[in-house]
Chains A and B, each alone.
Chain A
Amino acid sequence: MTQITITLNGETVSADVEPRTSLADFIRDDQRLTGTHLGCEHGVCGACTIMIDGVPQRSCIAFAATCDGSVVRTIEDFDDDDVMADLRDAFTAHHGLQCGYCTPGMLATARDIVTRLPEANEKRVRLELSGNLCRCTGYVGIVNAILAVLDKRRG
């Protein structure tokens, strides 16, 4: 067991974790924050994408034991965030979700695109989003939602 202390959605959390426990399992099973979803558990599909120290990362291939001292933000933590609020509205308006399973990971990546690349065009948005798989939407609504938020924020 390894003792870790992380800042999870603004709160300090200390726990003993097994070396093999992924950050995703720690968040979901130990901390009961189930908004982070697991789609492949080998770092490809992007459903488990969360913010670790300000960067979107795969929580399924990050070990909890290596995250000591990190600031972790999951989908449950963005209720006061303007960009996330715009993205949520846009995902609904543009039908950017169907079954909802990939959605938390999509929003994590989408928020990163909007904040980091304010001038991104459709091609760039698709490229940036290429680490997130969606089986339902054909990406049309997701890409359009992100473009709409970029557009809105450019004024």
Chain B
Amino acid sequence: MSEWGIGASLPRKEDHRFLHGRGNYVGDMRLSGMKELAFVRSPYAHARITAVHKPEGKEHLVFAAADLVGVKPMRAPSNLPGYKASDFPALAGERTRFVGETVVACIGDTRAEAEDLAQEVIVDYEELAPVVDMLEARKPESPLVHEQWGDNIALETFLDGDMTEAAEKAAITITREFRMARQAMVPMEARALIAEWDNRSDQLIVHHSTQVPHLIRNGLAEFLGLEQRQVRVIAPDVGGGFGLKTYVEPEELVACFLARKFGKPMKWIEDRREHLIADANCREHHYLITAYATDDGKILGFDAEVTVDAGAYSIYPFTNCLEAAMAGGNLPGPYDIPAYRARTFTMVSNKPPLVPYRGVARAGVCFATDMTIDAVARELGLEPHEVRIRNMVKPEQMPYTNVAKKSFESGDSPAAVRRAAGMIDVAAVRARQKAGEPDGRLIGLGFGSYTEQSAHGTSVFASWGVQMTPGFEQAGVKLTPDGGLEIRIGVQSHGQGMETTFCQVANTVLGIDPAKMTVIHGDTGQTPYSTGTYASRSMVMAGGATSRACRILAERMAKIGAHLLQCDEADVEIRDGKVIGPGGEVPMSEIGRVWYLNPEELPSDVEMGGVEAVEGYRPDPDHGTFSYSTHAAVIALDPDLGTVEVLDYVVVEDCGTMVNPMVVSGQCFGGAAQGIGTALFEESPYDDQGQPLASTFADYMMPGPTEIPNFRLEHMITPSPHTEHGIKGMGEGGTIPAPALIGNAINDALRATGAEINQTPISPRRIRAAIMAASNKEAAE
């Protein structure tokens, strides 16, 4: 391992500009003649729009649905049989289907002036009955979100399995209901874009805070009726994404349309209130699980019914059915479960569309599965971590294809549990529980384990029916005349440190100093096509492609270098940024000089592609890599106040070869913190009329530094046999187990009270209610 290559905790190259306030986010940009947009939004969850009254004399600055000539509604179909796609309009015309839906757009010289104008617009509505709860939505008497459907089911899937034997052999049968709340993703920078029409290139240029510039380009071209060559999407610095910035939103279509119509740049910056009430939400799963187990805790079968509240519309490009479809396939987790059956429902409701958030579907899945495991352990009086180990796929079973047809390539999940149990010191926690706390708080211990399928390939996405299936990922590398390197990737870095880590990959192959490299990303005009950064795929896919492109470059450099050294090509090697032969060496700057400036010195049979190469890559097989991890935590719960403090939190994870362990750890910590947010704090609640009840950070609880513990982390390294350098995807994983293990710890703490909670966020009010209910039940008995 070189000090700069794969495996080094190289400090990030991007830090300097951020630490000096010199980042460049969309909100920081100002273009000549730029106007700003504000939107009039629906105050009703479900209503008919009967009239729009524009303020007199300002009609030319105010736009309703009928004014967006040529703009198509967004349609994100799925190939999954029976899926009902829905048209998501840029501006609602006849009907609004959630509070916050865009109805009218207003233009001003500043945002404040645009908002002033929006205040003057009057819209007449006729209220309709809303659909607010996903379980109610399944009932035949429910109002309908899309009348023409006849029901509220966007998609139903069924994974059949025979449960007879499991039911017959089971010593115990456990049934539980779990609910994970709807929440917002809350990157610190919300959505943002500036659209401008550039006459010279005949292009719509969109500066867009996105993770997936090429997919945004596809969507904008399709819905605006432009040719692809007429759209360029550029993502500058992006202040966090977590899945939020992978799709096209109505405001963006409006801004693009108006930029072209007026010939002026149009800016829209989503404010926090808009983010919390009107932007796409995430999570909101309901599970009904029946587990069959032997008296020593071996799970014989899992029977699951999954319902996801997908909101009002399908959203481009990932649809609103990915969550439920993935949940059905992921419930078995890292466990070897012989019999499995799952029915899933994707329900529409009068709430904002639901899109994948970090850990896509699996945070809910792990919450249901791992809390069921602990319920089994509690019922049998066994240690939950031992029940986990008993049920896990063992290393000697690898490679292993589970009951839901997921293929694990390598790893040792039981070892991760054992290490986590050792770090958290189970015996000491049990002794502490027995001794009791002087302040009367209750101590609880919880574990959560998962596998994270990542970098899902063509075959996996094709099976999900999504119409943006990733194929071969490409990367471009180019030696500059002075011996530096440009790396072009179609993914987009928005906190993951790719401006550093991709240099590390290239350094491992070429030995060039990362300080002499530039990573160009996030610009459809400058990078190879890519479906972008999501699904923990960037390093596996684009990193693999970068490595391969560098190897092509290395061969060509070796040939030129050998010619300059007057030796045989087979006798040279590339090391430390030089071509080294038996009798001498030439630095990369010499190779660059000769190719670009003095080609007369090149060998006569030189490869004409020169010192620039684009290469594609896809792992083989492409079913995705499987990282895995176990987290464990000790909590203290105050039974009088219902408050929870996380006292200790450990992470043991294995993502194969780590390109930059510091960055991997940072992703684990950040993910776990978001998971704790889901577990304890974050919720976007709605009243029975579909009104959002959390519209500021006073109502929407974000975890801060006093709520998040100082995580302790250990890495395991089992390289993937299927990928370049053995890398596995891992960016999302940290979020997955935290709700489950915090829930398990709380239920462990509550054991003596007889209370059990299976719903996030596990707020003080829910804890108090559960304790009260248990105590009332006991009194009644």
> In the complex where A34-B28, A38-B27, A44-B697 touch, is A98 in contact with B21 (Cβ < 8 A)?
no
Interface size on B, as a range, is 35 or more
A20 within 8 A of B: yes
- Are A37 and B239 interface neighbours, CB within 8 A? yes
- Are A42 and B696 interface neighbours, CB within 8 A? yes
Selected interface stretch from B140-148, B562-570, B624-632, B670-678: B670-678
Q: Which of A91, A93, A135 contacts B186 (CB 8 A)?
A: A135
Q: Which of B27, B273, B674 contacts A135 (CB 8 A)?
A: B674
Q: Which residue of chain B has its CB nearest to the CB of A129? A: B705
- Are B696 and A135 interface neighbours, CB within 8 A? no
Q: Which residue of chain B has its CB nearest to the CB of A128? A: B705
- Are B663 and A42 interface neighbours, CB within 8 A? no
Expressed in whole angstroms, the minimum distance between the Cβ of A42 and any Cβ of chain B is 5
Contacts of A42 in B (CB 8 A): 272-273, 696-698
Binary per-residue interface labels of chain A (22-51) against chain B in the complex, 1 for a CB within 8 Å, 0 otherwise: 000000110011111111111011010000
Q: Which residue of chain B has its CB nearest to the CB of A98? A: B495
The CA-CA distance from A108 to B24 in the complex, in Å, is 19
The CA-CA distance from A104 to B22 in the complex, in Å, is 10
B238 within 8 A of A: yes
Contacts of A47 in B (CB 8 A): 188
Cβ < 8 Å to A, chain B residues 223-248:
237-240, 242
> In the complex where A92-B12, A95-B663 touch, is A138 in contact with B21 (Cβ < 8 A)?
no
B662 within 8 A of A: yes
Cβ < 8 Å to B, chain A residues 61-116:
74-76, 79, 88, 91-93, 95, 97-104, 107
> In the complex where A42-B696, A130-B706, A140-B669 touch, is A135 in contact with B19 (Cβ < 8 A)?
no
- Are B706 and A99 interface neighbours, CB within 8 A? no
Contacts of B665 in A (CB 8 A): 95, 140
Contacts of A134 in B (CB 8 A): 188, 705
Q: Which of A20, A75, A99, A138 contacts B673 (CB 8 A)?
A: A138
Contacts of B16 in A (CB 8 A): 92
> In the complex where A39-B188, A45-B188 touch, is A101 in contact with B696 (Cβ < 8 A)?
no
B11 within 8 A of A: yes
Contacts of A37 in B (CB 8 A): 25, 27, 188-189, 239
- Are B696 and A91 interface neighbours, CB within 8 A? no
- Are B669 and A141 interface neighbours, CB within 8 A? yes
A127 within 8 A of B: yes
The CA-CA distance from A32 to B495 in the complex, in Å, is 24
- Are A135 and B187 interface neighbours, CB within 8 A? yes
> In the complex where A99-B495, A100-B18 touch, is A137 in contact with B669 (Cβ < 8 A)?
yes
- Are A138 and B669 interface neighbours, CB within 8 A? yes
- Are B706 and A141 interface neighbours, CB within 8 A? no
The CA-CA distance from A129 to B704 in the complex, in Å, is 8
Contacts of B734 in A (CB 8 A): 138
Contacts of A141 in B (CB 8 A): 666, 669
- Are B189 and A99 interface neighbours, CB within 8 A? yes
- Are A97 and B496 interface neighbours, CB within 8 A? no
Q: Which residue of chain B has its CB nearest to the CB of A133? A: B702
The CA-CA distance from A122 to B295 in the complex, in Å, is 45
Expressed in whole angstroms, the minimum distance between the Cβ of B575 and any Cβ of chain A is 28
The CA-CA distance from A79 to B22 in the complex, in Å, is 12
- Are A44 and B696 interface neighbours, CB within 8 A? yes
Expressed in whole angstroms, the minimum distance between the Cβ of A83 and any Cβ of chain B is 13
Expressed in whole angstroms, the minimum distance between the Cβ of A48 and any Cβ of chain B is 11
The CA-CA distance from A93 to B20 in the complex, in Å, is 15
- Are A75 and B242 interface neighbours, CB within 8 A? no
- Are A139 and B673 interface neighbours, CB within 8 A? yes
Interface size on A, residues (CB 8 A): 56
The CA-CA distance from A117 to B16 in the complex, in Å, is 26
Contacts of B237 in A (CB 8 A): 99-100
Binary per-residue interface labels of chain B (561-586) against chain A in the complex, 1 for a CB within 8 Å, 0 otherwise: 00000000000000000000000000
> Of A28, A103, A107, A129, which is in contact with the most chain B CB atoms at under 10 Å from its CB?
A103
- Are B21 and A99 interface neighbours, CB within 8 A? no
The CA-CA distance from A91 to B16 in the complex, in Å, is 10
> In the complex where A99-B495, A101-B188, A133-B188 touch, is A107 in contact with B708 (Cβ < 8 A)?
no
A136 within 8 A of B: yes
B726 within 8 A of A: no
- Are A95 and B662 interface neighbours, CB within 8 A? yes
> In the complex where A45-B697, A95-B663 touch, is A39 in contact with B189 (Cβ < 8 A)?
yes
> In the complex where A99-B189, A135-B186 touch, is A76 in contact with B20 (Cβ < 8 A)?
yes
Q: Which residue of chain A has its CB nearest to the CB of B676? A: A138
Cβ < 8 Å to A, chain B residues 303-318:
none
B711 within 8 A of A: yes
B136 within 8 A of A: no
The CA-CA distance from A41 to B112 in the complex, in Å, is 13
Q: Which residue of chain B has its CB nearest to the CB of A84? A: B19
B710 within 8 A of A: yes
The CA-CA distance from A141 to B664 in the complex, in Å, is 12
- Are B670 and A135 interface neighbours, CB within 8 A? yes
Expressed in whole angstroms, the minimum distance between the Cβ of A6 and any Cβ of chain B is 18
Q: Which residue of chain B has its CB nearest to the CB of A94? A: B662
Cβ < 8 Å to A, chain B residues 704-740:
704-706, 708, 710-711, 734
Contacts of A28 in B (CB 8 A): 27-28
Q: Which of B19, B112, B272 contacts A103 (CB 8 A)?
A: B19
A150 within 8 A of B: no
Contacts of B673 in A (CB 8 A): 137-139
Expressed in whole angstroms, the minimum distance between the Cβ of A106 and any Cβ of chain B is 10
- Are A75 and B696 interface neighbours, CB within 8 A? no
Contacts of B12 in A (CB 8 A): 92, 95
Binary per-residue interface labels of chain B (330-352) against chain A in the complex, 1 for a CB within 8 Å, 0 otherwise: 00000000000000000000000
- Are A35 and B15 interface neighbours, CB within 8 A? no
- Are B666 and A39 interface neighbours, CB within 8 A? no
The CA-CA distance from A124 to B40 in the complex, in Å, is 44
Contacts of B674 in A (CB 8 A): 135, 138
Q: Which residue of chain B has its CB nearest to the CB of A77? A: B21
A-B contact pairs, 10 of them (CB 8 A): A35-B23, A37-B25, A40-B697, A93-B11, A95-B12, A95-B662, A130-B706, A138-B674, A139-B669, A140-B665
Chain A residues packing against B (C-beta within 8 Å): 18, 20-21, 28-29, 32-42, 44-45, 47, 74-76, 79, 88, 91-93, 95, 97-104, 107, 122, 125-127, 129-143
Task: Apart from A32-B30, A100-B495, A103-B23, list 20 A-B contacts with CB within 8 A.
Answer: A34-B28, A36-B21, A44-B696, A45-B702, A95-B665, A97-B19, A98-B240, A98-B495, A99-B188, A99-B237, A101-B23, A101-B25, A101-B187, A103-B19, A107-B19, A129-B705, A135-B674, A138-B734, A139-B673, A141-B669
> Which 5 pairs show the lowest CB-CB distances between chains A and B?
A35-B21, A100-B18, A101-B239, A138-B673, A75-B21
